[in-house]
Every structure is written in C-alpha cells, then in structure tokens.
Structure 1
C-alpha cells in the first residue's frame, strides 16, 4: 500500500509518531528510538512543551533532518500576527531547524482577525520556513471560509479520527481540495483495545486491536495517523500494522460501529459540525 500522502507537494509518511504528552528526556528517547526503527514523521506542538526535546532528538539521530517530516503547531491564544510570528520563531529555535515541514494552527478561536491570522500563516510558507501549512480542529464551515473563500493553500488538516468517530464530511472536503487528513488520537486513547468488535477482528488476524484500528485509517486514501507511542514494543507494533490485510468483513464490522464518540473537546473547542 502507499505509505506516503502527497498533497500540495507535501510528502508525508502516513504513519507518524505523536509526542503528546511526553516531555523532556522521555520524549527525546522516544523520538530517537522511533527514528531508529524507521519512523520518518514526528508530530509536536508549542503547547506540548516538547519541541525542544524533539529538536534534541533530531540533533542526536543519525537520520538526516531532510529525511524527517516534522509537524508543529501554534496555540490558539497566539494567533495575532505578532504572536504567531514569535511562536513560529520559537518553534524553529526549539527544533534546531530553519524550517518545519508542516505548520498548523492548533485550534481556532473566536476573538481573532481571521484574515490576518491566515495571511500570517501563508507568509510562513511564502518565506520557505514552513514547507506546507494547514489547520487542526477546524469545523467544516470554517474550513470552507479559509480554503474556498480566502483561497489559503492548505495542505493538511489534523482532527480527531478513529473507528469510533466518523469524519466523512471533513475527509470528503480534504479530498476535493487536495488536502491530507491527519488523524490524532487514532486509537481513541487506547479504548480500541476494549471494543469487542475490534477485539474479534484482532483475534482473527492474531494481532493487537491497536493494529486493526490503525490499519483501518492507513488504508484510507489521503489519511495519515499520529499515534503516541513511547515504548519500543508499541512503536514497532504500530509500524507492523502496515503488514495487515483487512478484508471486506472486517471493514463492514468497523463501518457498523457508532461513529459519535468524540474524546477531545476542551472548553475552547469550536462548535462541531
């Protein structure tokens, strides 16, 4: 299967390493280890307080920086142009890099000048310091405004997406507008391991339930996933999900699961579609 998502010149491995909530040496060790195992996609954010730890890992690793896709994000309270630029500069310093492969607005907010915020985001791409740009946690109506009305060249959106939360409308929008969809919390905060239907499919294939949930996502066109995994065994297991072959019965079982279990909706979240 294709292991790269290519949108807006964004060559992004479909399986990445999520780093939240790891910090410090724990995060550095996990990223170095993941790169040794073959990961080439690392997801971080200013709000995770671990960009410096990721930067340390990139410096320690024998894998050249240009061979690793790195995503980072600006927090919702830093979306004025000056604050965005300061946050972006801090991100690059922490990562010890003169560019980031993908830079996202982490969450939308209400008290903002959307046009100026998006113009600032686009400027990072125009300067070459962000190879690609995108957004996270934007509802469909806001995405339409940014992409269709403002013509922002977004390469990706990052949203919660897993076997228990459907994102059909956002995925359709992404495909129509040449965008990747990056699934965070792709294992539903490990609750997939307790789902009887996923357990039955896993037993049938003799693999952990997490591999079933991941492969369901990775099989989808233009979808990437960034599960957090600190230990070597979990990192390897996630990589091995590529070796699975789900059949029509498996996919039908997963399709029949309720798709309304949103796990991430903080007080500042937008009104979801």
Structure 2
C-alpha cells in the first residue's frame, strides 16, 4: 500500500505564483509531499510550481481534497478530473474526502473514490477530519485501501484514539497545523524541550509528531522555515520529552467544523 512521506508542505494560503514558488523551493530542497485542496483555490499555481521543480513527477507525492459541496458520486468524479487539469497531472497520489459534511454520502461518495482509483486518477483514498466511527464506516465501504487520515494534530489538540485506530488498521495519520498556528511557542512543555535540545519549539512540535508515527504538512514559505521544518526530522526526542508534551492539558482546536 502507498505510504505517505513523513514531512510534506501544506499549501493553504499560497494563492499567487510568487507565493506558490515555495513549492518549487521545497521540492528542490528535498521535500517529496505536497498537499493542496479544491477549496484552497490554488491547484493551478501549485501544479505549475510542482512542474517547475527539477524533480520528476513520479518522485512527488501529490495530494488534493474534494470539498464538501462536491462529494456526490457524479460531482466527486467531475471535480476530481477538474482538479487534475488544474494541477497539470494525470493522477494524484492520494485523493481526500475533505470533510464528511454537506453532500457527503458514504456509499455514493466512497464508490466514486473507488472508481477514481480503479481508473488510475488517484493512487489511493484518503479522508480528512473524520471521527473513529466515520473511519470505521469508510473502511467497511471502501474497496480500495485507506491510505491516510488527515486531521488537525499538535500539542494543543491531541487525539490519541485516532493514532490507535490508524495503527490498528494500517493507514497513515497526516497532521495539518502541526505548529498550532505558531502557538507552540507559547506552550511551556514544548518550550522546555526546545531549550533542552537547543532548538526551536516549532522543530520540537514536528519531532514530537514524527516520534508518534504521524506525518506532518506544516505550511512555510521562506527557505529558512522550509529548511528548519525538514531538518526537524533529525531531532531525536527521548521518552521523557514525548511524555511531557503528551501531558499538555490546554486544548485549542484551530479548525472546528
């Protein structure tokens, strides 16, 4: 089954060719996972930036998401084809159900996603912002393997039950907003671990997620931040570090439904 690269680049908010040039920079720096979505309205500039990188398409793990208003069977197939046209590619490596709301109809939506995999337009199926019950239902209905569940996950918003479910069923968890929108700089436990290792709270937050087997897609635009996020994979946290961040009691959900 397809496995998701551990560190990728989130592209929400990269709306112009200049902003999306961060995608080209990231790929040439060593990133191999680029994440976008229909609702971001940037698939065209992201696709152009992927094509501009001196990296073969086959080495890039490219993901997009079908928005909640297009999850009916016909709309899911039609808008996915439109996404591929905008991205300038024949396929995406994973196609996500962005949120299980509005037009999401599990049997019809997931039948469309299975067909898109069968037709080679998507290499794998992903879901995003699902509960454990919704994940179980999707697993029952899908013929194609579930590749990934993308969810908000950071020291201020932890859902260990989702990690346990993924481990049990063999798919990857992909954390969006792994830096809590910059709020990790204000989390005492994260700051203490950063000071211990002589690094930044942002690097610690990424390393903590990686230590838990979670893939991450932080957004970044400058070369400095892109490089720092990528190199966070080299930071080894010990069990005490991980436990300290696991024990954070504050909770902040950045993107509630």
Q: What's the TM-score once normalised by structure 2's chain length?
A: 0.95
Residue aligning to 1:141: 133
Residue number among 57, 74, 77 corresponding to 1:65 in the alignment: 57
State the alpha-carbon separation in 2 of the partners of residues 111 and 33 from structure 1: 36
State the alpha-carbon separation in 1 of the partners of residues 23 and 107 from structure 2: 35
Structure 1 residues 42-79: Cα deviation after superposition (integer angstroms, max 9, x where no partner): 00011111110111012211100000000100000111
| CA distance 1:111–1:65, shift in 2 (3 Å) | closer
State the alpha-carbon separation in 1 of the partners of residues 142 and 224 from structure 2: 44
1:263 aligns with 2:254: yes
Residue aligning to 2:91: 99
Residue aligning to 1:117: 109
- 1:176-195 mapped onto 2 (5 Å cutoff): 176-195=168-187
Helix, strand or coil: the match of 2:25? Answer: helix
Helix, strand or coil: the match of 1:23? Answer: coil
Residue aligning to 1:16: 8
State the alpha-carbon separation in 2 of the partners of residues 16 and 96 from structure 1: 20
Shift of residue 262, structure 1, vs aligned partner: 1.5
Answer whether contact 1:184 1:226 (CA < 8 A) is retained: yes
1:126 aligns with 2:113: no
State the alpha-carbon separation in 1 of the partners of residues 250 and 165 from structure 2: 18
Residue aligning to 1:252: 243
Supply the RMSD in Å over aligned alpha carbons: 1.4
Residue aligning to 2:160: 168
Answer whether contact 1:166 1:259 (CA < 8 A) is retained: no
Answer whether contact 1:108 1:138 (CA < 8 A) is retained: yes
Listed as ranges, the gaps of 5+ residues in structure 2 are none
Structure 1 residues 160-215: Cα deviation after superposition (integer angstroms, max 9, x where no partner): 01111112111111111111100011111110012122112111111111000000
Matched length: 257
Answer whether contact 1:122 1:153 (CA < 8 A) is retained: no
Q: Which has the higher helix share?
A: 2
Answer whether contact 2:184 2:205 (CA < 8 A) is retained: yes
State the alpha-carbon separation in 1 of the partners of residues 103 and 219 from structure 2: 31
Residue aligning to 2:219: 228
Structure 1 residues 126-162: Cα deviation after superposition (integer angstroms, max 9, x where no partner): 1111011111011111111111355552111100011
Residue aligning to 1:83: 75
Shift of residue 256, structure 1, vs aligned partner: 1.3
Answer whether contact 1:27 1:50 (CA < 8 A) is retained: no
Listed as ranges, the gaps of 5+ residues in structure 1 are 1-8
